[in-house]
Amino acid sequence: MDPIRIHLDENCDVGLASELRAYGMDVTTTYDMGLPGSSDRRQLEFAHAERRVVISHDFDMVKLHRAGVVHQSIIHGKMNRRSVAEMGEEILKVAELHGPKGLVGLLVKLSEI
């Protein structure tokens, strides 16, 4: 199976990138790509062009999805009491459930899996 291509929004813990890479995912971060301070819409545009699923804790991403902004997919979830490892495990479950071809135009809320 092809690896899931992920882009971490700048509000994500950068340790999550290492966690997801350990699962074999192809991960970029806002900082890796020189996008800190970019708008949420710009983050989605970048990720869509690169066929990457955006991971974000930002509710504005949910609003953009609901407004019909085109994107590969968004996985939304707050860290709350989750550790980086727990967050990584939840994202892995989503990846295994949908696979790279199934993660197109979706909004997945981690609290709902």
54's enclosing H/E stretch is strand 53-56
CATH (domain of 59): 3.40.50
For residue 113, pLDDT over 50 is answered with no
For residue 1, pLDDT over 60 is answered with no
Radius of gyration of the chain measured on its C-alpha atoms: 12
10 residue type, one letter: E
* pLDDT (mean) for 75-97: 87
The number of beta carbons lying within 10 Å of the beta carbon of residue 34 is 9
Give the mean pLDDT of the chain: 89
Q: What's the pLDDT score for residue 112? A: 54
Alpha carbons 109 and 113: distance in angstroms, whole number: 7
* Beta carbons of 90 and 113 less than 8 angstroms apart: yes
Number of domains in the chain: 1
* Beta carbons of 95 and 4 less than 8 angstroms apart: yes
- pTM for the structure as a whole: 0.89
* pLDDT (mean) for 72-94: 87
